[in-house]
Every structure is written in structure tokens, then in C-alpha cells.
Structure 1
Amino acid sequence: MRVTTASIPLVAAVARGQQVFVTTTGYTCMPSAVSPSYYFQPFSFTLNDTVRYATPVPTPTTAYQTYAPGYSEAVKCLATPPATTTWGNYLPGNIAINATDKDDPYGQAAWSSLWQNVKLENYTTIGLYSTTVSPTPIPSSELVLPPRDYFGPTDCRKFFPEDFVFGVAGSAAQIEGAVALEGWFLVCVYFLGRGPTLMEKLAGPSQPKDYVTAENYFLYKQDIRRLAAMGVRYYSFSIPWARILPFTLPGTPVNQQAIDHYDDLINEVLDAGMQPIVTLLHFDSPWTFVSSNNFTAMPDFGATSGGYQNETFVDAFVNYAKVVLTHYSDRVPIWVTFNEPWLYSFNFAGADNVVHAHAQVYHFYKNTLRATGKMGIKFNDNFGVPRDPKNGSDVEAANRFQEMYLGLFANPIFLGKQYPESVLKTLPGAKPLTKEELRYIGNTSDFFGIDPYTATVVSQPAGGIGACASNASAPLWPVCTVEETRNVYGWNIGYRSQSYVYITPTYLREYLSYLWNTFRKPVLISEFGFPVFNEAEKELPDQLFDSPRSTYYLAFMSEVLKSIHEDGTHVMGALAWSWIDNWEFGDAASQFGMQVLNLTTQQRFFKKSFFDLVDFVGARLPSS
């Protein structure tokens, strides 16, 4: 854009008689008056790329740091230590023939009946593996850094804090598989003791299922070594409730096979030089709580069936959490109770149960186990920014957006404050917490986990917020705000991905400031990622050279640095989603991974963005 000096008086005094160019980034450029000179010189080809390799995390040379007593002592904190057992295979259609323990409420027949009731679709999907695969060394040829993008972050003066938590994230439901396999000789489905979950109903009949996905249940040793070879410091994963307790409820037996599996997984992470971060519930709610016949797809917050509002949910979740914490708290430094509970709470009762269950687990971890690690909760909320920050109506809409998505959980958990008035006046059955409840629930999170993938432009609906909030059948109820992806001038808010994510780094910085100054706890960016548009349709070399994803990650991390150093915001860390293309709840086209996954061969290939992100952070960590 060309601007005359008359339109920029401050610059005009310096650049009298010259044209001034204002770039799209806002910087001014004044062309040199000196004409170039042209000349000949000898020519030779040069190597433009310098070969560099990813720097792996160092192998530990000392014993594990411990954060709580080991299981032999921790189990004494349970009133009644649960019994353990294992189960065999689910044989569709042959339960009556093969079951010999029909009188055992938790035996093979009862366990098989759990799956019989789910009525799986396409359950004969075949995976490649049926046992744990031993790791092999990562060839150095896979660890060569890709060519740099021409434009990128150049400020190397700002460093991340020495204790900055940097790593990658995934969830069991989206990467593990080991849900349905076809054995040989007999057509059978191996469930390895896991009970059915919400995930078995989430995708429609014609959509991909989670039965196989990345087969991480069998390939975890190799996957962990690949992450360590790239220099990843923290590995965030989830443990499926239904694999630990197939029958879900207190008093039912624990699956010993699952206990041994995650025990070994955690040890593998530590042996590789990384640190584990564990989430207790990441979408895969046990079937017990979502078995309503009319539950067939992604629920909305007005749903009345299934979900966390079940009257047995709090006691059941706390019991499950205690089982997991007594086994693994000694070696895990960071815990997350719930992932994005807004999406699966379904209604106020469900959200209220999440708040109470989280607080009970936190008190058990801190006060009963006397653990010294960190425990928190993580939320979804694509930051609502007012369409016009100078318009009071839009600002009011943005405030309501944050209250409904975040304040519902965060007010009591972080501040010991009452549920927002907007929640109490909108959601059916909503009731205030008592003073005693607020004292117990308040300050029960050591960090504020947030998954800020993108930003959302917010304004008020036609007729206003009040009219929408009082009408449960209104299309925008219960949040009652218009959510868009274009700014007030008609431009997209950022570069668009395959899904809902737009590249919005400057809004991220504003968001981090809002969270830190509102809820007063260190902020953990617990997920952030970008599915490149149409990536699944590209040839492998083009999938690997994923510059838009690199732009997303490096822009976001640059704004994190500014937030820390220029805004005084305590950002505890950032976990990239995801370390591999995974199962996106029935969607095979939205590839969030920093590794390509070949579903046929189960081969993994590092993408450019993985190298770029690790290289960017590693170069800005004091210990590097």
C-alpha cells in the first residue's frame, strides 16, 4: 500500500521528499535513494541447505523423581482396595455356548454382555497387531530437519522459562485402538478387558470407528521412542476409565491387564527421558452413563439423556480416579481430571457433577495421598472476541460467552465464587452452591488448562441475549451469542484450516492475558493444533511439507513468548495436538497430527511442522 508523506506527518519530517510504504504488518519501509549497480562474477552451485538433525531428549541417568507414595503405601488410603481380575474375548453370537460363569455378576458372561448390548457396527475391522511391539532405534535419516520457510519468527532474545512444560498430546480414544480386532481360526473380537464407552456410539454408521486407529495400545513403546528422538519433553495422554473398570461403578473389579499396561507405559515415558501428563477422562465416558437409546451423535448442552448428570457419576468417577492415582501418582508430575467437560456435561446437573467430582479428586490427591505434583482441569473455549470492541453490546456478548463456557466451571474451582448469574438464570435446574460447597471446591486446581485452538467473533443475537436466554428452543440457546469467523470488516479472522480452526495468534495473546488476570492461576495450553486444508487428499511428500501448520505453531508460540515477557502472564506450558494423525470422532479428513499415519501399514512419518515446532522451542529454552 502506497501512502504519501502528507498522510503520515510524524514520518514526513524524517522522510521529506520520499515515498513511504506501509506493509501489511504495519511496519514502515523507506526505499533507498541509491541506484543498484550490476556486474558479472564467476558462478558455481552451492548447497543451500545445511544438514541438521533433531536433538533427542537425554536418557535419564538418575532414578525417577517421586511425587507421592508408591502403590503399596498409597493403596492404604482406600477404604476397601478393589479386587482385580482379567477377561478373555468377546465372541459375538456365542455367549450362551461359551459362558460358564453366568452366576458371576462380573465374570466372562457378564462382561461379554456389556458388548452384546452395544451392538457394534463393522466390528470385524482388522488391525495389524495383537500384542505389544518392542521398540527399534529411530533411523537418523528420519530425523533430518526440513528446509526452512523463508518467512518466520526472527526474535531470539526472548526465552521460555526454564520450567516451561513443552510437549505433545493425544487421547486414548483417538490413538489406542485395541477395541475390535479379528482373530484367526475363530471370528472374534478382542477387547483386552475394556468396557464399552461413548466412543462406540459417537460416529455414525458410515463413519470411521475408533476400533483400530493408530494401534498405539500395541505400538506405544515405539511411539514413545519416536517422540523422545524428536526432543519432546512432556507426553500427555489419557487413561480410559472403561479399560481400568469395565463395569464402571465402585465395588466392581479392576482390570489387572490395564493396570499393568499403563504402569509400563508410564515407565517407558520416563525411561525415554520424558515426563508423563495424564488425563483421567477424555471424552470416553463409560457406556453406563450414555446408554440411552436416543443418544446417537454429538450431544448438545440441552440434552436430557446420558452424560455426567447420572446420579451415580460423582462417586463412580472419584472411585476410578482413586484407583488410578494410587497406582501411578508416585511417577506422574501433572494430572488433569476432566478434558473439555462442557462438551459432555449435557446440562447443569452434569456440569455441577463435574465441579464436585473434580474437587473431591483434588482433595484426595493433595490431602490424602499428600502428593506434590500438580493437578488441574482443562477446558474448551475458542476465545470469544467482541465483533467490535468499541460496541458495548458486542462486549456484553463476549463476556457472556466466557461465562457460559468457562465461568460455569472456573468460577467455583478457581475463585471459590458462585456460578455466573447468566448460568443460574439460563440453565434449567441450575442452583447456587452453598458457602460450604464453595469453600471446599474453591482453589482446587494448580493450573488453568485451556485448549485455545482458535478465536471466535461474538455479537448479540437478533432480539438480544435476554430473549434468547428465556427461550430454551431458541437456536442459539443456551449461550445465546452469535459466533462467527469474520471480523467487522468482512475478513476471515485468520487463515482457515480443514475444520473450525483459524490461525489467530494475536488473539491467543489477548486470551492468555484474560485467563491469567481473571482466574489467577498459571495457564497451561493443554491442546492447540491445525488440520491443514485438504491434507488427507495430498500425496505423502506434500503432507509432510505442511508449512501452514508450521506457521500456526510458530506464530502461536511467538505470541506465548510475548505474553510471558511483555504482559507478565504466567504461561506454564504448551502441548501440541496432536503428535500423530488420529481418529477425529468419525472424521478421517481433519488431520491434526505432526506425523502422518498410514492406516494400512501403521507407518509413521514426521511432518515438517514437528521439526519446526521442536526446533523453535528448543532454541529458546535456557537449558538448550
Structure 2
Amino acid sequence: MRVPLILFPAFVVAAEAQELYLTTTGYSARPQCTESSALTPHYRFQPFSYTLNETVRYATSVPSPTTTRTYAPAYTEAVKHLTTSWSTTTWGSWIPGQTEISATDSQDPYGQAAWSSMWQQADLHNYTTTGIFSTTVSPTAVPSSELVLPPRDYFGPTDCYNFPKDFIFGVAGSAAQIEGAVALDGRGPSLLEKLVPDNKPKDFVTNENYFLYKQDIQRLAAMGVEYYSFTIPWTRILPFALPGTPVNQQAIDHYDDLIDTVLDAGMTPVVTMLHFDSPLLFVAGDNITRHADIGYNNAGYQNETFVDAFVNYGKILLSHYADRVPIWVTFNEPLLYAFNFKGVDHVVKAHAQVYRFYHEELKATGQLGIKFNDNFGVPKDPKNSSHVLAADRFQEMQLGIFANPIFLGKQYPESVLNTLPGAKPLSKSELKYINHTSDFFGIDPYTATVVSPASEGIKACTADSSSANPLFPYCVNQETKNVYGWNIGYRSESYVYITPTYFREYLYYLWNTFRHPILVSEFGFPVAAEAEAEELSDQLFDSPRSVYYLSFMSEILKSIYEDGVHVMGALAWSFVDNWEFGDYAQQFGIQTVNRTTQERHYKKSFFDLVDFVKTRQPRKD
């Protein structure tokens, strides 16, 4: 297939298989010049006076809601659709050397003593509950002085499109990376407390959003953000994880209030059920190992009890909150924590069950989907058919492994069935049940990856499943330089490069391959060495991040209007600098955080991103 030559005047498109690739033919032409630009200059002297080069503009807060919408039955009705009953209870907080001694209910399999014992077995090193806050903080109004828009950059997007009326724009964060309070108010231990090495920062305190959520939501609303995407930790709702175990009433009440706070601020909540923080119960006693740069081979998804347990957890969330939350995500980036066949198979089947419960039993009218990670694989040499096939394989093993059955009702890709140990095809009845069990295609397309075959060839590589082969199971090389040796874009503090044209190409691929509306559920850019800046003002003036966001958003508009791609929305990652799984130096946030005071400050990119969207809203007439 071919795309009209609309990406850039100086680019041509070469199409092979299902991908589209760009090859450069020279410098881009200048914008159309007016006749006056060709006139001979006329030099002259004139009186000088200082001019006001800066116009003060303020961010516009989200208006208060005037109506309340519901998307599913309220809890009292929704709970009637559940087949597993549970009791609700509360637990205290785990303080090393104290809580486990004071607990006196040792005969209760789910009492305080049993709950504390889970934390003892987790054997956390350097654990502390010492944060600044111990109760929910009441919000304060954001001063107008903090809402003054920064100076504009000299160059900016030149598109002439408006976003569709139903376009979703907002920001995102995940509980494990911002909440802290990990062993407080009944939360059980998760995978992430054990995954990060002891010499790296832990998730014990992070941004203390568990206590500061009202203030964080107030700050987002003041900037005019309309959608807030967050996650609910499984281990807060069900500390013992399994069906039939008690539900934590404190957690139910906490997220009930969080959702109401979002709605009261005039925003719309988007909720993800599982964002890497699966209960430690599923991997207790096992080694958690990372396979090269692919994912974690033992993160609980392959546990035989996982599917039933996740479906039970999902039903509890939906029965309590689906009436007020219109957009749901079951799994965040499951590839990173399910890269073995059993784990993948469990994710696909668990997701399908939750989807059918949501639409067929609750009769909910919102949307429920799943979101994936995949740095778009582009062939190093698009004229080389082996490179194109390598890119196709890369996409199949990253996306097709989940998306084929869920979105198309198609079998797992042959590349998966022929490579992953233990892989077996889905039956016809399973494919029928799983088919079309997502309302949107969620994708976290941070950047692109240059792909070429393994030096020994893909076939030879797939025959060698030993851990000594770092390219198995993809069996392709992944690089960040193009065929001419140039980086594919401007480099960040981490793996992210600014790759807007590949991003647009990627949207085209996703829409035409999986044929569902696309939600850009995360995208963001950690500016190189931003954490090392000595002056706060230097951290806040983050022009590279603005370039990233505005170029990606501009490509979304072109994708919608010029390529006919249904992009339903975009959620910026992250609304605040957070805990990047053992690292605070990779600052993805559009707000800073003072780790001593927990004070937040807006960055320039936050203003630029919101301003970009607000100035491209559809006209009211």
C-alpha cells in the first residue's frame, strides 16, 4: 500500500509488506514566500523605543461540571452480577518491629497478623514509612502567578487543523510510581517492592500522591486538563489478591473519593487496572528475572491462579466504579511482564473475560480496552527485503502476540507459535470468545527502533533458544541509528528519541492493521540531564520536551485529517516527575517535584502542550 506524498515535500514513501518507510531525497523546501520577500531591502534610520515583547496570558481552568453522566449500574445493582462473594475489612499499617508483634488475631487467615506476615516475608531492605504526610491533604487554590504562560519558542507547528470534538486529551500517571504509602492502610506487597535492587530508590514514598491526590487533581484542573488517567493497585483493593479473600474497605473508599474528586474538578477519569504492580503473592519464593531488554520472565502472569484472580479483581473494580468512569484499561504494557507464552495467554484470556463482564453483564456504555508498549520497528534499510521482514516480525512479537486474537479474532502469529517455548494455538471457540474484546487500541509509542535481522539470520537465531543468545526470541537487531549512521532523533535521558514522522507512520500502520480507534495512552520525553540542573528555573524551561509533545501532537492531527486514521485521544506521560522503577533521574514529568517538601511546579512543556490543544479546539459555531 502507498500513502500520498503528504509527509514532507522532500520525502518519498517506499512501501514493503505492511510497513511504510521514508527515504530522504534532499533538504525540505522553504515555506511559500510572498512577493514582498523578493524586494530589494531599503535601509533607513528610525527613532528607537523599547517594545513590550511579552504578553501575559494565563492558563484557563476546567469549568465546574453542570451535569453528571453515568455509564453503568451503581454498585448496589452491579454487585448482583458477581458470582464470587467477599467480605470487607480494614487493616492497619505495617511498621517493622511493631505491627507484627501487636497483632493478636493469628488464627484468622486474613487478619492483621496474616497481613503483616506478608510484609515480613517480603523482606524489604531500608523500608521506611517516613513521609511528610499521614492523612489526606486538603487542596488549596493554585495562585494565578503560577498559571502565567511561559514565552513561546521561536519555531512551532504550522498545521491548520482542529482536534475533533470527541478527541480525548489529558495526562497520565500510575499508582506505583506516585502514591508511596506502600504498607499503609492495608495495602499488600507487590512485585515492584522486590523487583528493584536494594541500591536503587524504592517506591516507599515517591510523590505521596496517596495523601496529596486532591492537590494534584486541583493543579491539573487549574491548567485546563480534561482527562486524568490513573491506576488502582490490586494490592490495595485485595491485599491477599485471590477470589474470596477480603476487600479492603479503606481502599474502596479512597478511590471512590479520588474518582469523585476528579469529577468534581470538571475532569473525566480514565482507570487502568494493572500497571506492573501485580501482587507479590504470585511470585513469592520464585526468582524474578529479566530477559535482556524484553521483559520479566517471572512476574506472576503465568501463575495458574492468575486469570481467575485478575478477573475477580476487575469485576470488583467495575462493580464499584464503572458507573462514573467511562474509560477503562485492563493491562498496561503486558509484554514487559508476560514475555513467556503462558503469561501472554493468561493476559489475553483474562482481558477478554473482563471485557465481556463489562459489556454483556453490566451492560456498561463506556469503553474498555488494553494498552501495549512498542517502539515502532522500522527497517534499517527499507530497500532490503530481509530488513522489512525483520521489522514485520518485530511488530508481530510485540503487538500481534496480543492484538491478533483480541482485535481481529486471528490466531497468534506464526513467529510466536514457532519461537516461544510451550506456545500453542487458540481453539476456534477461544478465538470467537476473544475476538473484538477491546473498544480501542491503546498504545504507548514513545519512540522508534531501527530493526535489521540477526547477523546469523532469523531462522538460525530462533533455533537457538539458549539464554546465551541475547537476540532470542525476537532474533532481530535493535538500534537507534539509521542506515546512514545518524540518530533517529534527538536523544533524551533514556531510550526515547524524538521521532514524530515515524510516529505518524506508526499510527497509519496500527489503524490499517488492527482496525480499531487508537488511544495514545502514554507518550513523553525525559530531557537529558534535567535532574542535574542546579536552578529550578532551568528545569522548568524544558524546550526539548515541548518540541517532542508539539511535534507528536501535530503529527496526530495530520494522521487524522490527511491519512484518515481514527486517533481518539492522547494522554501525556507523566503529569509529574515520578519514580521510574528505581530511578528519579529520568524525569518524564511536566511538573517537577521537590523530594524534600513534595512541592510541585509546572514546567514550560505543560503550558505549551495544553495551549497547543486549546488553540486547536473545534469552533463553537
Matched residue, 2:506: 511
Does 2:172 correspond to 1:177?
Answer: no
Does 2:261 correspond to 1:268?
Answer: yes
Does 2:586 correspond to 1:590?
Answer: yes
Does 2:454 correspond to 1:449?
Answer: no
Distance 1:561 1:130 in 2: 44
Matched residue, 1:186: none
Distance 1:611 1:287 in 2: 39
Contact between 2:296 and 2:337, CA under 8 Å: does it hold in 1? Answer: no
Deviation at 1:61, TM superposition (A): 1.5
Does 2:459 correspond to 1:463?
Answer: no
Deviation at 1:254, TM superposition (A): 0.2
| Alignment CA distance shift 1:406-1:418 (3 Å) | same
Distance 2:314 2:115 in 1: 21
Distance 1:127 1:374 in 2: 37
Contact between 1:87 and 1:193, CA under 8 Å: does it hold in 2? Answer: yes
Contact between 2:95 and 2:129, CA under 8 Å: does it hold in 1? Answer: no
Contact between 2:295 and 2:337, CA under 8 Å: does it hold in 1? Answer: no
Q: How does 1:209-224 map to 2 (within 5 A)?
A: 209-224=202-217
Distance 1:583 1:389 in 2: 38
Aligned-partner residue type, residue 63 of structure 2:
P
Does 2:154 correspond to 1:150?
Answer: yes
Matched residue, 1:327: 320
Distance 1:534 1:577 in 2: 18
Contact between 1:75 and 1:81, CA under 8 Å: does it hold in 2? Answer: no
Deviation at 1:383, TM superposition (A): 0.2
Q: How does 1:270-419 map to 2 (within 5 A)?
A: 270-295=263-288, 305-419=298-412
Contact between 1:385 and 1:456, CA under 8 Å: does it hold in 2? Answer: yes
Identity %, equivalent residues: 72
Match 2:531 to one of 531, 536, 543 = 536
Contact between 1:143 and 1:230, CA under 8 Å: does it hold in 2? Answer: yes
Match 1:166 to one of 153, 166, 169 = 169
CA RMSD of aligned residues (A): 1.7
Aligned-partner residue type, residue 595 of structure 1:
Q
Structure 1 window deviating more from structure 2 (206-215 vs 551-560): it is 206-215
Structure 1 window deviating more from structure 2 (26-35 vs 201-210): it is 26-35
Contact between 2:94 and 2:100, CA under 8 Å: does it hold in 1? Answer: no
Q: Residue by residue, what CA displacement relative to the aligned partner does 1:58-77 show, whole Å, maximum 9, x if unpaired?
A: 11122x20000000000111
Distance 2:438 2:105 in 1: 44
Deviation at 1:520, TM superposition (A): 0.4
Does 2:90 correspond to 1:86?
Answer: yes
Q: Residue by residue, what CA displacement relative to the aligned partner does 1:87-132 show, whole Å, maximum 9, x if unpaired?
A: 0122323456312100000000000000000111211252100000
| Alignment CA distance shift 1:478-1:82 (3 Å) | same
Matched residue, 1:43: 48
Matched residue, 2:7: none
Deviation at 1:304, TM superposition (A): 5.3
| Alignment CA distance shift 1:367-1:615 (3 Å) | same
Q: How does 1:81-230 map to 2 (within 5 A)?
A: 81-94=85-98, 97-124=101-128, 126-155=130-159, 157-179=160-182, 191-230=184-223
Matched residue, 1:435: 428
Aligned-partner residue type, residue 354 of structure 2:
V
Q: Residue by residue, what CA displacement relative to the aligned partner does 1:223-272 show, whole Å, maximum 9, x if unpaired?
A: 10110110101000000000000000001000000000000000000000
| Alignment CA distance shift 1:24-1:542 (3 Å) | farther
Match 1:602 to one of 581, 598, 617 = 598
Match 2:519 to one of 517, 520, 524 = 524
Aligned-partner residue type, residue 189 of structure 2:
P
Aligned-partner residue type, residue 53 of structure 2:
N
| Alignment CA distance shift 1:102-1:298 (3 Å) | farther
Q: Please give the secondary structure, in 1, of the residue aligned with 2:418.
A: helix
Q: Please give the secondary structure, in 2, of the residue aligned with 1:483.
A: strand
| Alignment CA distance shift 1:375-1:33 (3 Å) | closer
Q: Please give the secondary structure, in 1, of the residue aligned with 2:607.
A: helix
Distance 2:26 2:121 in 1: 62
Q: Please give the secondary structure, in 2, of the residue aligned with 1:82.
A: coil
Distance 1:372 1:304 in 2: 36
Matched residue, 1:552: 548
| Alignment CA distance shift 1:33-1:319 (3 Å) | closer
Deviation at 1:491, TM superposition (A): 0.3
Matched residue, 1:3: none
Gaps of 5+ in 1: 1-7, 9-21, 180-189
State how many pairs are aligned.
592
Aligned-partner residue type, residue 62 of structure 2:
V
Q: Residue by residue, what CA displacement relative to the aligned partner does 1:189-222 show, whole Å, maximum 9, x if unpaired?
A: x521100001101211111111111111101011
Match 1:66 to one of 57, 60, 70 = 70
Distance 1:26 1:456 in 2: 27
Distance 1:317 1:375 in 2: 15
Deviation at 1:82, TM superposition (A): 1.4
Q: Please give the secondary structure, in 1, of the residue aligned with 2:425.
A: coil
What TM-score do you get using the length of structure 1 for normalisation? Answer: 0.92
Deviation at 1:469, TM superposition (A): 1.1
Does 2:479 correspond to 1:489?
Answer: no
Contact between 2:189 and 2:235, CA under 8 Å: does it hold in 1? Answer: yes
Distance 2:291 2:187 in 1: 22
Aligned-partner residue type, residue 178 of structure 1:
A
What TM-score do you get using the length of structure 2 for normalisation? Answer: 0.93
Matched residue, 2:19: none
| Alignment CA distance shift 1:425-1:137 (3 Å) | same
Matched residue, 2:16: none
Aligned-partner residue type, residue 61 of structure 1:
T
